[in-house]
């Protein structure tokens, strides 16, 4: 079956760094997306990894290891506006995104 | 670029009525559009996938006669919730893909439906 595993909730301090881990199992693999979703809003695209390694984009970086079925999203210099849910979504062989429940990140001053 | 709009943003209707939600890709052609439903504190649930000019593919457990999807053009897809009931109250989100690598889905802002 297809499965996503992320922590349900994480708490971090403003200005700090946080890493959100994701392990996955899919039928085939065509890359992995990270999305941010604020409460009551639709998801917005953060990053895409299809090859192993680290992709850096400003304060956000995403890492992928295909052999381990593992990815993480790294958020630096946390800001209060980063409080949101972060969704790890691998794409299967049918180019369909597989969604988990996401990780709710709470930023404290 | 890659903007997707949805209309309406929120709607309240009486039980038994039908509601139509529009999803438009504003600055690209969407070969594929997706319709999701999300209940509070739960993950996105894919309802159906639609390709322009063909019938939508519904996920298991989603009633195609209740949730009518039309993808008449490369920039417009509609979802009609027929004979809505209170249990249909949810956040409905569409997304669109151009079909070009990496097949990223661009999401609309969502429609919050409340059925009284």
- From edge to edge, which strands make up the β-sheet containing B19-25? B4-7, B19-25, B76-81, B67-73
Q: Which residues from chain B sit within 8 angstroms of residue A102, using beta carbons? A: 43
pLDDT of A9 over the 80 cut:
yes
B92, closest residue in chain A (CA to CA): A42
Q: Which two tokens stand for residue A9?
A: 């909730």
- E-state strands within chain A: 3-5, 9-13, 18-25, 32-37, 44-49, 53-57, 60-65, 70-75, 84-90, 103-108
pLDDT of A103 over the 70 cut:
yes
Give the model confidence (pLDDT) of B35-54 as tens digits: 999 998 888 899 999 988 78
Contact between B15 and B34 under an 8 Å Cβ cutoff? The reply is: no
Dist. CA A63–CA A29, nearest whole Å: 15
Contact between A14 and A109 under an 8 Å Cβ cutoff? The reply is: yes
Q: Hunting for tokens 């794409």 — which residue is that?
A: A91
- Cβ <8 Å between B104 and A50: no
Q: Which residues from chain B sit within 8 angstroms of residue A43, using beta carbons? A: 44, 93, 107
A48 touches chain B (CB under 8 A): yes
Instruction: Count A/B contacts: CB-CB distance under 8 Å.
Output: 45
Q: What is the mean pLDDT of residues B86-109?
A: 90
Give the model confidence (pLDDT) of A18-61 as tens digits: 999 999 999 999 999 999 999 989 999 899 999 999 999 899 99
Q: Which residues from chain B sit within 8 angstroms of residue A94, using beta carbons? A: none
């Amino acid at each position: 079956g297809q499965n996503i595993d992320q922590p349900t909730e994480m708490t971090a301090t403003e200005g700090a760094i946080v890493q959100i881990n994701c392990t996955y199992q899919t039928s085939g693999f065509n890359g992995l997306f990270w999305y941010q979703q604020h409460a009551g809003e639709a998801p917005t695209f953060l990053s895409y990894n299809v090859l192993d390694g680290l992709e850096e984009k400003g304060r956000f970086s995403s890492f992928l290891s295909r052999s381990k079925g593992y990815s993480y999203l790294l958020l630096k210099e946390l800001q209060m506006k980063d409080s949101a849910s972060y969704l790890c979504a691998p794409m299967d062989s049918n180019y369909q995104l597989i969604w988990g429940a996401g990780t709710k990140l709470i930023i404290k001053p | 670029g890659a903007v997707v709009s949805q209309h309406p943003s929120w709607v309240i209707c009486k039980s038994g009525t039908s509601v139509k939600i529009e999803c438009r890709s504003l600055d690209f052609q969407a070969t594929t559009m997706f319709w999701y439903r999300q209940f509070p504190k739960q993950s996105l649930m894919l309802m159906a996938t639609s390709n322009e000019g063909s019938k939508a593919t519904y996920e298991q457990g989603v009633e195609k006669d209740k949730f009518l999807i039309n993808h008449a053009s490369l920039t417009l897809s509609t979802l009609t919730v027929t004979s809505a009931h209170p249990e249909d109250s949810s956040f409905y989100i569409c997304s669109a893909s151009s079909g070009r690598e990496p097949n990223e889905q661009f999401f609309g802002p969502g429609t919050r439906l409340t059925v009284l």
